[in-house]
Amino acid sequence: MLQVNQLVDEFEFEVKAGHGGLNKEITDYSLKRPGAELMGFLTYLTPKRIQIYGRTELGLIQQFDEAMRRERLARVMVPEVPCVIVTRGLPVPVELLALANERNIPLLTTHRSTTRLFSLLIRYLTNRLAPSMLIHGVLVDVYGVGVLITGESGIGKSETALELIKDGHLLVADDAVEVRRVDEENIRGTAPSHIRHLLELRGLGILDVTLLFGAGSVRDEKDIHLIVHLEEWQQGKMYDRLGFDPPQTREILGIAVPEITLPVRPGRNMASMIEVAVMQQRLRGYQAGYRPRLAPINKNNI
């Protein structure tokens, strides 16, 4: 849940009016510049969006006489609006201040430009309001590919991650991965704040990866491109030996992510197999005509 007062603290907005609505909840990560609505076109008002007033909107308001200004603003400043932000430190019309106080709509100001504010707010709101879930697993960055390693407890996920880190790859999250959907095609994983950059190994305890391997061995978040599921080797089970089986996927937050299953047994180097799986996944993408912007396969550049 995101409230207006949290937005105020994050961006250091100045609250000019509507203090009674600072606990309003923000539910839509889209923003609204209500120029068309101020001209009377209310079909796409979308009142649950944050409204941004820049030079264009305020210049338009000044074209109306006092009575018309209040009438037009009253039709746009409905109680469902979570907050209104005036950019560039521009003077706020008295009608806007009055309506904000009457309807408990927080009126915030900033010296940032409208374009800059849009960029910052969209990124922040997308991250905060995106659908999310918690997955038991380990997330690592291998050759620029976000690999989510899953499997039963004790199967060796963290040990595999340790081998990958020693090989120069990056840890994102161990044990618990917070996954959120950032757009229509991508999901992103990060670690809960209390276990960020930590790796739990049975027999050794909880290790701080940044202290052992340096700050360059971790990253805070990563898009998930591939799921590697580890399972105990099952005698008699038919595993893919020729590479002809159709690729499998797992749906996370409505997005299908490629998934492979690797059987675990003594003598198999799971870290090396994951590295090869990543190379193979990249190759498939290129063969299909997809050109992902990923890091080159060179550990010295990681």
- Domain endpoint, select from 71, 101, 129: 129
Residues 159 and 75 in one domain: no
157 assigned to a ligand binding site: yes
Domain count for the chain: 2
Confidence grade of residue 302 (pLDDT, cut at 50, 70, 90): very low
CATH number of the structural domain spanning residue 60: 3.40.1390.20
- Domain endpoint, select from 129, 161, 180: 129
Residues 196 and 270 in one domain: yes
Percent of the chain, pLDDT > 70?
91
Residues 184 and 297 in one domain: yes
d(CA 243, CA 205): 38
Range name among 43-47, 170-174, 233-237, 271-275 with the lowest pLDDT average? 233-237
Residues 84 and 123 in one domain: yes
Residues 61 and 15 in one domain: yes
Q: Is 136 a catalytic residue?
A: yes
Checking 287-294 for CB contacts under 8 A at 24+ apart, the result is 292/225, 294/143, 294/144, 294/145
285 assigned to a ligand binding site: no
Q: What is the pLDDT of residue 281?
A: 83
Q: What is the pLDDT of residue 155?
A: 92
Residues 174 and 287 in one domain: yes
Q: Which residue in the list 194, 202, 241, 291 is annotated as catalytic?
A: 241
Q: Which two tokens stand for residue 280?
A: 């193979």
Residues 170 and 222 in one domain: yes
95 assigned to a ligand binding site: no
Q: Which residue in the list 70, 112, 141, 175 is annotated as catalytic?
A: 175
259 assigned to a ligand binding site: no
Q: What is the pLDDT of residue 299?
A: 47
Q: What is the pLDDT of residue 126?
A: 83
Residues 156 and 122 in one domain: no
Within 10 Å of residue 10's Cβ, how many Cβ atoms? 13
- Model-level pTM? 0.69
Confidence grade of residue 7 (pLDDT, cut at 50, 70, 90): very high
Residue range 32-40: average pLDDT? 89
d(CA 12, CA 275): 44
Read off the pLDDT of residues 168-227 as tens digits, 9 standing for 90 and up. 999 999 999 999 988 888 899 999 999 999 999 988 999 999 999 999 999 999 999 999
Q: What is the pLDDT of residue 45?
A: 84
146 assigned to a ligand binding site: no
Range name among 3-7, 112-116, 280-284 with the lowest pLDDT average? 280-284
152 assigned to a ligand binding site: yes
Q: Is 19 a catalytic residue?
A: no
Q: Is 222 a catalytic residue?
A: no
155 assigned to a ligand binding site: yes
Closest by CA position to 178, among listed 237, 249, 253, 111: 253
Q: What is the pLDDT of residue 301?
A: 42
Which domain covers residue 122, as residue numbers? 2-129
Residue 43 has pLDDT above 90, yes or no: no
For all residues of the chain together, what is the average pLDDT?
Answer: 89
Residues 141 and 290 in one domain: yes
Q: Which residue has the higher pLDDT, 128 or 145?
A: 145
Residues with Cβ < 8 Å from 141, sequence gap 6 or more? Answer: 147, 169, 170, 171, 172, 219, 222, 302
Q: What is the pLDDT of residue 185?
A: 86
Residues 223 and 286 in one domain: yes
Q: What is the pLDDT of residue 285?
A: 67
Residues 217 and 89 in one domain: no
Residue 14 has pLDDT above 70, yes or no: yes
Q: Which residue in the list 55, 123, 136, 284 is annotated as catalytic?
A: 136
66 assigned to a ligand binding site: no
Q: What is the pLDDT of residue 222?
A: 95
Residue 131 has pLDDT above 90, yes or no: no
Q: Which residue has the higher pLDDT, 76 or 240?
A: 76
- Domain endpoint, select from 113, 129, 145: 129
Q: Which residue has the higher pLDDT, 237 or 210?
A: 210
Q: Which residue in the list 24, 72, 157, 197 is annotated as catalytic?
A: 157
Confidence grade of residue 244 (pLDDT, cut at 50, 70, 90): low
CATH number of the structural domain spanning residue 294: 3.40.50.300
Residues with Cβ < 8 Å from 174, sequence gap 6 or more? Answer: 138, 157, 158, 161, 191, 195, 198, 199, 200
Residues 165 and 41 in one domain: no
